[in-house]
């Protein structure tokens, strides 16, 4: 999984991992672990409403982080919300990377003029705010997590095209890509065997950065009531539902807010850390 020109990969590997990278990896692993555990176990049933302890402070009657204004256990909701967070990220980033990566490689290989056209079209998409696109999708197909995240995924394609294209252009001018052309390898062969494996480092970085954006977008859309429905546990939706009691019980808003902040920070920091390790321009010769 080495990036182009990263030829002292094993020398770098022996060096100590930078703390931000470790932090990002730990946070992301934690979220994945929590989401997986929530399938089998949560402290309370997510749908259970403890009518005797509504808006209870942390530690009340076995509610570790307290309850929300309907008496649901906040810790359990947070755990189940991690699931939603991961799902939306996988959907949005999956769409963006699966479409954006080949398009980026294509843009690097089709020659300057057609590539210019492609990038101008990309720019139009880029100028269109992701949330606005999601609003449009919600209007057309009804508000659901899937439609919201499809919109976010489509809006993230331009970033992939740009990043992958710039990496692919570098690979296309490396001696091994030239040698493959001399050897008579076709364009598709070069794209699959030489370009794609060598831009994977950049793709991984972009995945983690886009993931953070998708999480934030999901929270924002769910807060606006355009994402997760009432039956889905979502951090954004938790904030939305508890806003009514902001003045009396601010603490029930704090937890999902913290969870979102931590997840976004985790994915961003992981992306930055990976970029430092995988980007050939920063690694140097």
Partner 1 sequence: MNDAAALPPLSPDAGPVLTVTDLCVRAGRADLVRGVSFEIGARERLGIIGASGSGKTLTCMAVAGLLPEGLHAAGSVRLAGVAEDLLGGSERHLAAVRGRRVGMVFQEPMTALNPTMNIGRQVAEGMILHHTRGSRSAARAAAVDLLASTGLSDPRRMMRSYPHQLSGGQRQRVVLAIAIANNPDLLICDEPTTALDVTVQAKVLELIAEQSRAVDAALLFVSHDLAVVAALCDRVLVMFDGQVVESGAVSRVLTAPEHEHTRRLLADSDLSRGAL
Residues that bind partner 1 in the complex, under the rule CB under 8 A: 1-2, 4-10, 111-112, 173-176, 178-186, 189, 193-194, 197-198, 200, 285
Residue 23 CB-half CA count within 13 A:
12
Give phi and psi for 234, each to the nearest 5: -145, 140
Euclidean distance between the first and the last CA atom of the chain, given in angstroms as a whole number: 17
Alpha-carbon dihedral angle through residues 54, 57, 62, 67, given to the nearest 10 degrees: 40
72 beta partners: 49
Q: Which is nearer to partner 1, 111 or 230 (CB)?
A: 111
In the complex, the smallest distance separating the C-beta of residue 183 from partner 1, rounded to whole angstroms, is 4
Query: What does the chain come to in residues?
Result: 285
Instruction: Answer for the pair 74, 84: CB distance below 8 angstroms, yes or no.
Output: no
Q: Say which residues have a Cβ less than 8 Å from residue 29's Cβ, sequence separation at least 6.
A: none
By C-beta, is 8 or 52 nearer to partner 1?
8
Among residues 174 and 232, whose Cβ is nearest to partner 1? 174
Q: Which is nearer to partner 1, 70 or 281 (CB)?
A: 281
User: Of 142 and 197, which has the nearer Cβ to partner 1?
Assistant: 197
- Please state the closest distance from residue 15 (CB atom) to partner 1, in A: 15
Rg (CA), the chain: 22
Please name every residue paired with 89 in a beta bridge, in sequence order, or none if there are none: none
Torsion of CA 12, 13, 15, 18, to 10 degrees: 90
Shortest Å distance, C-beta 7 to partner 1: 5
Closest CB to partner 1 among residues 8, 248: 8
CB of 136 to partner 1, least distance (A): 38
Instruction: Provide the minimum distance between the beta carbon of 21 and partner 1 in the complex, in angstroms, as a whole number.
Output: 20
Nearest to 2 by CA among 278, 208, 285, 284: 278
Query: Whose Cβ is closer to partner 1: residue 10's or residue 231's?
Result: 10
**Nearest approach, Cβ of residue 209 and partner 1 (Å):** 22
User: Do 184 and 161 form a contact (C-beta atoms < 8 A)?
Assistant: no
Tell the smallest beta-carbon distance from residue 10 to partner 1 (Å). 6
Cβ atoms of residues 252 and 99 within 8 Å? no
């Amino acid at each position: 999984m080495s990036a182009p020109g990263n030829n002292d990969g094993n020398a770098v590997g022996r060096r100590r991992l930078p703390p931000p990278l470790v932090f990002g990896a730990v946070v992301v692993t934690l979220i994945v672990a929590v989401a997986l555990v929530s399938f089998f176990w949560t402290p309370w049933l997510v749908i259970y409403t403890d009518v005797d302890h509504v808006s209870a402070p942390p530690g009340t009657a076995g509610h570790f982080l307290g309850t929300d204004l309907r008496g649901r256990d906040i810790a359990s909701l947070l755990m189940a919300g991690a699931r939603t967070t991961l799902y939306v990220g996988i959907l949005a980033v999956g769409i963006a990377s699966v479409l954006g990566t080949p398009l980026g490689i294509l843009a690097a290989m089709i020659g300057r003029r057609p590539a210019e056209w492609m990038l101008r079209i990309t720019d139009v998409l880029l100028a269109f705010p992701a949330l606005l696109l999601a609003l449009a999708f919600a209007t057309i197909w009804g508000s659901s997590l899937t439609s919201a995240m499809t919109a976010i995924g489509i809006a993230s394609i331009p970033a992939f095209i740009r990043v992958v294209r710039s990496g692919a252009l570098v690979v296309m001018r490396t001696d091994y890509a030239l040698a493959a052309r001399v050897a008579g390898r076709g364009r598709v062969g070069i794209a699959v065997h030489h370009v794609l494996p060598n831009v994977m480092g950049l793709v991984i970085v972009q995945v983690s950065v886009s993931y953070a954006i998708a999480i934030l977008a999901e929270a924002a859309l769910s807060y606006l009531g355009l994402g997760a429905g009432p039956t889905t546990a979502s951090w954004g939706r938790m904030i939305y539902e508890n806003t009514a009691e902001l003045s009396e019980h601010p603490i029930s808003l704090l937890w999902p807010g913290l969870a979102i902040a931590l997840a976004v920070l985790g994915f961003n920091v992981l992306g930055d850390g990976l970029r430092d390790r995988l980007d050939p321009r920063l690694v140097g010769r």
